[in-house]
Amino acid sequence: MNQNYKLLLMSTPVGALGTGQGGGVELTVQNIAQELQKRGHQLEVVAPEGSFLTGVAVTGIAGNSQIAVQTQTRDVPIILPENSTLGNMWEYARQVQSKYDLIVNCAFDWLPFYLTPFFSTPIAHFISMGSMTQAADEIMERMAKLHPDRIGVYTKSQAETFAFAEVCEILSSAIDLALYDFCETPGDSLAWLGRIAPEKALEDAVAAANITKVPLKIYGKIQDQQYWQQIQQDFPDAPIEYMGFLNTADLQQELGQARALLMTPRWIEAFGNVAIEALACGVPVIAYRRGGPSEIVRDGKTGFLVEPDSVPGLVTAIENIDSLSRAACREQAEAEYSLAALGDRFEAWFDKILDN
Ligand code: UDP
């Protein structure tokens, strides 16, 4: 049990770590790598060229990025660009595989699943989103039949979007709590945090801010410019301010000032790392009762769970924020989302896969 493993951790190929292009999985890669390295496991992280992790070395791989799958339709065929980063990353993995006990794939892409039976080193797959395309579902299902112990996900809600829900290892998520300061007394604004893209439905949060006239500060990568322009056009008088994409240190300082975090995803959010980042700062979370956030938020205690897609529901929740305890939010983050707890879950999963 818990011997030291040699691990090859394969990141997402949609963009360099640190750019925000990869969304929450970037933070997950940082956290797993940091915690497992601290525990004495030997670890190499492979990621697109230009990637940066705090305290962990990264092997950068050149090439053209993969198109983010959530921007595509369910019937999209498998597409790889010429000189594909994804292809190059897995060619590298093939070459170095004999040095490792286990390869951990964090890419939501067809290729690593397809390649698994061709590798001699076992590959575990950490799936970071719910079901997205028919082609990805099919190859993941095939993998789940071949190696049912090798599929990890964030949450039960996410697992249930797949036909192989019952074999998924639920690994949840975590944050380095030491990086997030508890803020007892907030400012006047609400926060919205994440990739600015249609599946995140920022427009609902903006609509609620427009009705309540409570200012809303927006943080994150603008992934879809046209979508962002449309929101600004649709709500010309909304009290919103775009604050840019911030690194964790700056983000937590800003986030702590928020009265609450609004989470309004239209899709089934696999987890929602921003929810636990907010809780760690003492910021309650107002989220739709759907996907990951519905498993995180304690309704009426550390936030409110609102009927999905209901702007009036968001408005009522905003009016009741002051009934929530910010200390209870921090306490929940400490009790449930520490890096130590995450490390234990991943180690237990690896033990099972490697039969230790
Ligand atoms: N994020 C950030 N700076 C920002 C806004 C967001 O670093 O200004 C990060 C945030 O910390 C979180 C990620 O972006 O880790 C969003 O992840 P989440 O799991 O909420 O959603 P995803 O993008 O994976 O759908």
| CATH topology assigned to domain 6-174+338-355 | Rossmann fold (3.40.50)
Residue 255: C-alpha distances to residues 15, 34, 142, 147, 250 (Å): 24, 23, 41, 41, 9
Q: What is the pLDDT of residue 249?
A: 96
Q: Is 272 in the pocket of ligand 1 (CB under 6 A)?
A: yes
pTM: 0.94
Pocket test of ligand 1: the residue of 274, 276, 337 to mutate, having most ligand atoms within 8 Å of its CB, is 274
Q: Tell which residue, 306, 302, 323, has the closest CA to residue 315.
A: 306
Q: How far apart are CA 272 and CA 259, in angstroms?
A: 18
- Domain locations in the chain? 6-174+338-355, 177-336
Beta strands in the chain (DSSP E): 6-10, 42-48, 58-61, 102-105, 123-126, 151-153, 169-170, 190-193, 216-219, 240-242, 261-263, 285-288, 303-306
Q: How many residues does the chain have?
A: 356
Contact by Cβ (8 Å): 97, 118: no
pLDDT tens for the chain, 356 residues: list them: 558 999 999 999 999 999 999 999 999 999 999 999 999 999 999 999 999 999 999 999 999 999 888 888 999 999 999 999 999 999 999 999 999 999 999 999 999 999 999 999 999 999 999 999 999 999 999 999 999 999 999 999 999 999 999 999 999 999 999 999 999 999 999 999 999 999 999 999 999 999 999 999 999 999 999 999 999 999 999 999 999 999 999 999 999 999 999 999 999 999 999 999 999 999 999 999 999 999 999 999 999 999 999 999 999 999 999 999 999 999 999 999 999 999 999 999 999 999 97
Q: Is 27 in the pocket of ligand 1 (CB under 6 A)?
A: yes
Measured in Å, residue 117 CA sits from the centre of ligand 1 at 33
Class of domain 177-336: alpha beta
Q: Tell which residue, 154, 132, 121, has the closest CA to residue 68.
A: 132
Q: What is the pLDDT of residue 352?
A: 96
Q: Do 177-336 and 6-174+338-355 fall under one CATH topology?
A: yes
Q: What is the pLDDT of residue 1?
A: 52
Q: Is 24 in the pocket of ligand 1 (CB under 6 A)?
A: yes
Q: Is 277 in the pocket of ligand 1 (CB under 6 A)?
A: yes
Q: Which atom of ligand 1 is nearest to the CA of 269?
A: 25
Q: Whose CA is nearest to atom 20 of ligand 1?
A: 272
Helix (H) or strand (E) holding 106: none
Q: Which atom of ligand 1 is nearest to the CA of 274?
A: 20
Q: Which atom of ligand 1 is nearest to the CA of 128?
A: 24
Q: What is the pLDDT of residue 70?
A: 82
Q: Whose CA is nearest to atom 18 of ligand 1?
A: 24
Q: Is 274 in the pocket of ligand 1 (CB under 6 A)?
A: yes
Q: Which atom of ligand 1 is nearest to the CA of 28?
A: 15
Q: Is 267 in the pocket of ligand 1 (CB under 6 A)?
A: no
Contacts of 142 (CB under 8 A, 6+ apart): 113
Strand, helix or coil for residue 60: strand
3-state secondary structure 247-308: CHHHHHHHHCCCCCEEECCCCCCCCCHHHHHHHHCCCCEEEECCHHHHHHCCECCCEEEECC
Q: Which residues of 273-304 are buried (b: 16+ CB within 10 A; e: fewer)?
A: bbbbbbbbbbbbbbbbebbbbbbbbbeeebbb
How many other CB atoms sit within 10 Å of the CB of residue 18? Answer: 17
Q: What is the pLDDT of residue 84?
A: 98
